[in-house]
Amino acid sequence: MEVSIQEIINYSSDGYSIIFETRFGGGRGVWNGEEPKLKQKYFIEFELPETLHWGKEITLSKDTECAIREMNDSLKITGRLESSYEDGSCVIRMDESIFLIETTGVPLPVTSFIDILVHKLILYDINL
């Protein structure tokens, strides 16, 4: 997924706390790697480091378009459930981009649009 770095808030042992923007929206995240350059575009992968629970952090979306929005101290990511596996891992699609999440509980049907509420999002530059 392509992102643009809008602001670098601070640096900690976890990485650079940043504000990013995508064509789906944007929010706060943690940049893993060398210090990013402001306003530069990067191709990244998302990591959601927490296990998410169906019916709690993951719910059926009323929207049918992908989006990333800030909500208080969290990010709300809307995407389409591409696949789910018995071990709880699921693939989420946001148009041409996909990312993996770890879940517990009973998943919604594949192809459902879902809302994912996360407290931490890690971004990795994949150097494309």
Where does the pLDDT of residue 128 fall: very low under 50, low under 70, confident under 90, or very high at 90 and above? Answer: low
E-assigned strands of the chain? 2-12, 15-22, 25-32, 41-47, 52-53, 58-60, 67-71, 74-84, 89-94, 97-104, 113-118, 122-125
CA distances from 123 to 15, 59, 77, 120 (A): 10, 23, 14, 10
**Number of structural domains in the chain:** 1
Mean pLDDT of 81-85: 98
Q: Could you report the per-residue pLDDT of 5-64, keeping only the tens digit for each?
A: 999 999 999 899 999 999 999 999 999 999 999 999 999 999 999 999 999 999 999 999
User: Which residues form the domain of 116?
Assistant: 2-125
Q: Could you report the per-residue pLDDT of 99-125, keeping only the tens digit for each?
A: 999 999 999 999 999 999 999 999 999
Where does the pLDDT of residue 127 fall: very low under 50, low under 70, confident under 90, or very high at 90 and above? Answer: confident
